[in-house]
Amino acid sequence: MRRLPVYLLLDTSGSMRGEPIESVKVGLETMVATLRQDPFALESVWISIITFDREVKQIMPLTELENMQLPEIQTPESGPTHLGAALELLCRKVDAEVRMSTPEQKGDWMPLLFIMTDGKPSDLQKYNEMLPEIKKRHFGGIIACAAGAKSDVKPLGLLTDQVYSLDTTDSATFRQFFKWVSASVSTGNRSIGATDELLLPPPPPEVHTVI
């Protein structure tokens, strides 16, 4: 069976504490519920969640949508945004979890990566080191989302040309974002193949493209 691995990298740095992270949780729940209504996603999608703040953790290993249960997400009181370290962990996990085609094994679909942050990488050097490594992993699509006024879209722009900024970090915008993630995952399911680019559904109105 062909799996579609989906990696979610979520910012849990201090600034996400409180309403923003609660909104993310609600958004995640909606996303999972939506995907469960999509037969293709229900049969193919595997999700992993990595959180990053001072520490980087894979709070959920790559898990079949059918069996997954959203894990607890915590945010420390304060602390840096170690996105570089998160990418490093991501590469390790992708290497270990994503299956490549061999004569004896059916490869997975190219994995999808979604990154959500409300700041900028504090470990910029590591972040820059990881950029070529991420490229080597051949993601079917990388979609980055910079939420709130304090987020910086420039570093994300080095990772993917699909960077979107959300004005606020409230529940409505996150809900839109995750709705969009679900739609992308559903589409991504079916359209990867001849072209290298992932066909995305149009972004929701709350989301602005970075110039």
Q: Which residues bind another protein (CB under 8 A)?
A: 1-3, 29, 33, 36-40, 42-44, 66-69, 72, 74, 100-110, 138, 140, 189-195, 199
Least distance CB 62 / another protein (angstroms) = 12
How many alpha carbons lie under 13 Å from residue 74 in its C-beta half-sphere? 8
What pairing do the DSSP bridges indicate for beta strands 207-209 and 163-166?
Answer: antiparallel
Least distance CB 26 / another protein (angstroms) = 12
Least distance CB 5 / another protein (angstroms) = 10
The residue type found at 130 is: M
Write down how long the chain is: 211
Question: Residue 151 or residue 186: which is nearer to another protein going by CB?
Answer: 186
Question: Residue 76 or residue 80: which is nearer to another protein going by CB?
Answer: 76
Question: Residue 105 or residue 125: which is nearer to another protein going by CB?
Answer: 105
Query: Exposed e or buried b for every residue in 43-76, given b needs 16+ CB within 10 A?
Result: ebbbbbbbbbbeebbbbbebbebeebeeeebebe
Least distance CB 98 / another protein (angstroms) = 8
